[in-house]
Amino acid sequence: MEQLSDDLNRIISNQQNLLETIPAMVLLIKENESVEYMNPSAKSFLGDLCKLPESITPEERTTISKFQELVTKTIQNNRVGETLETTYRESHLEYTLSSFEGYKGDSLYWLFMRDLTESKKQLAEISLFHNSIETILSHKINELKESEKTRQKLAKELNSLKEHLKEQSAECKMVGSSRALSELRDMVFQVAKSDATILITGESGTGKELVANLLRESSNRTNKPFLKINCNTISDSLLESDLFGHEKGSFTGADSKRMGKFEVVDGGTIFLDEIGDISPRMQAALLRVLQDGEIIRVGGNSPVKIDVRVIAATNRDLASMVQEGTFRLDLFYRLNIINISIPPLRERKEDLIDLTTHFIRKYRQAFKKDINFLPQSILERLIEHDWPGNVRELENVIQRAVLMAKNNIITENELFFDLQPGNKEHSAQKNYLQKLDGHTLKDIVADVEKDVITHVLEKNRGNVAHTVQQLDIGKTALYDKMRRYDISPKDHK
């Protein structure tokens, strides 16, 4: 019996200890009556409610009623044993009700409670934090999307501006507004982006190299190497090893293996100028490049793959050369996939004014001259001229004129047309040969003399002393001739 009572006491004291130490609030409530027990946690949160009825304050009474009500409601709702939530003043409480049979058979309830206020607050803060992060993120994502859209739009605008600028810069570089030149410019832009081989044809000085430069600038290989080779300036064997490289010992002096320009320029563009001048052997090698995209080094036999875009130019008539048998037909076909043919300047004289203005501007700046006037008579002379040397000749004429001009104006005195190779004699011959019929030698010589004296006097603005010096004749002789040919220095001042 004593043993039993000891055991009971031990159990009660253990239970007591447990109740006293757990952080949760524990209340033992008698339904509709009183609070029988509160552990320290409960007391510190709610105040001591287990007092004699007469010492309970009104405030404590309200609290007791609140929990009595909670108990009744939970029982009525049949939720004993469940974890539920309620609020007390400003606090969020989690509670569980569990029944307890009293010593006197009365029914009591354990009310276990935990204050969730802090953790709820933390949860709310966390969720607020999440929400604001989400808002910020979604803002940022929208901003990024917007800026991506703007970026794409700007990139598009930039590209079109670049294209526009390229076209404009092409217009600046390739001056002229004739229909032929506008069509030519359009064609350059159309074909530049493809990797197709291009053959540029046109008389000397028409702008073949200029077109080759524009093609490369507007192609997809702008940032890759660009190599220009003038096929007629290098000897054939040198050209072959220069272009295709050589194996060690392939010829005297080839003491080491060397990569050719086609290999070095791999990925880029090669401009073969004067292509009409290459030998049959070179023609065969070039055909291999264009046909199979490979080269064989001089003295070697294994082909090397290369990726080079070829632009070729010539002022020779390759089709006639094919007919004569000096140019391979198959190579001609391979080169002539796209032909850009530049018309001679005499066939597009509408470009003369633009070109003249362009060159005056260019050389005015270069020579620091202030040329600002070009008389109509000069323009007429330029239009009359046949321009056998094409744009290059015009450039030379204007360059000389700007350099020599006095008083900011170009006059006839500064206008000298190029003497084209083979053309000097030709045009001189033509003039005087035309006059041969029915004229004596004396007449013809007199005619020449008159022309020469007039021309030089004009150049020297009627200054006889300078003319004497330049023509290296005596003053009396010059006066004699001027009298004979009815030339007056005053007319040339």
Binding site for ligand ATP (CB under 6 A): 174-176, 202, 204-210, 315, 355, 358, 391-392, 395
Contacts with Mg ion by CB under 5 A: the residue count is: 2
Site for Mg ion in 149-208 (CB under 5 A): 208
CA distance linking residue 431 with residue 447, whole number of Å = 11
CB of 223 to ligand ATP, least distance (A): 23
Residue number with CB closer to Mg ion (208 or 385): 208
Residue number with CB closer to Mg ion (214 or 401): 214
CB of 398 to ligand ATP, least distance (A): 11
Q: Is residue 269 within 8 Å of residue 227, measured between CB atoms?
A: yes
Tokens of 36: 């029988």
CA distance linking residue 472 with residue 474, whole number of Å = 7
Q: Is residue 94 within 8 Å of residue 83, measured between CB atoms?
A: yes
Q: Which of the listed partners (ligand ATP, Mg ion, none) does 206 bind, with a CB threshold of 5 to 8 Å by partner kind?
A: ligand ATP
CB of 334 to Mg ion, least distance (A): 21
Of all residues in this chain, which one has the CB nearest to ligand ATP in the complex?
Answer: 207
CB of 336 to ligand ATP, least distance (A): 17
CB of 250 to Mg ion, least distance (A): 31
DSSP 343: P
Q: Which of the listed partners (ligand ATP, Mg ion, none) does 202 bind, with a CB threshold of 5 to 8 Å by partner kind?
A: ligand ATP
Residue number with CB closer to Mg ion (171 or 209): 209
Of all residues in this chain, which one has the CB nearest to Mg ion in the complex?
Answer: 209
Tokens of 27: 């209340």
CA distance linking residue 158 with residue 156, whole number of Å = 5
CA distance linking residue 434 with residue 228, whole number of Å = 44
Name which of 326, 315, 320 is nearest 274 in CA terms: 315
Residue number with CB closer to ligand ATP (316 or 381): 316
CA distance linking residue 384 with residue 412, whole number of Å = 14
Contacts of 214 (CB under 8 A, 6+ apart): 170, 173, 174, 188, 192
CB of 209 to ligand ATP, least distance (A): 3
Helix/strand/coil for 461:
coil
Name which of 304, 301, 274 is nearest 289 in CA terms: 304
β-bridge mates for residue 87, sequence order: 92
CB of 203 to ligand ATP, least distance (A): 7
Contacts of 400 (CB under 8 A, 6+ apart): 414, 416
Q: Is residue 453 within 8 Å of residue 478, measured between CB atoms?
A: yes
Query: Is 60 an interacting residue with respect to Mg ion (CB under 5 A)?
Result: no
Q: Which of the listed partners (Mg ion, ligand ATP, none) does 216 bind, with a CB threshold of 5 to 8 Å by partner kind?
A: none
Residue 25, H or E segment: strand 25-30
Name which of 202, 193, 236 is nearest 313 in CA terms: 202
Site for Mg ion in 201-240 (CB under 5 A): 208-209
Q: Which of the listed partners (Mg ion, ligand ATP, none) does 174 bind, with a CB threshold of 5 to 8 Å by partner kind?
A: ligand ATP
CB of 209 to Mg ion, least distance (A): 4
How many separate helices (H) and strands (E) can be counted in the chain?
Answer: 18, 14
CA distance linking residue 450 with residue 442, whole number of Å = 12
Residue number with CB closer to Mg ion (208 or 297): 208
Residue number with CB closer to Mg ion (230 or 427): 230
Residue number with CB closer to Mg ion (169 or 232): 232
Q: What x/- string results for residues 466 through 485 when contact with Mg ion is judged by CB under 5 A?
A: --------------------
Residue number with CB closer to Mg ion (274 or 412): 274
CB of 401 to ligand ATP, least distance (A): 16
Residue number with CB closer to ligand ATP (207 or 388): 207
- Per CB under 5 A, residues contacting Mg ion are 208-209
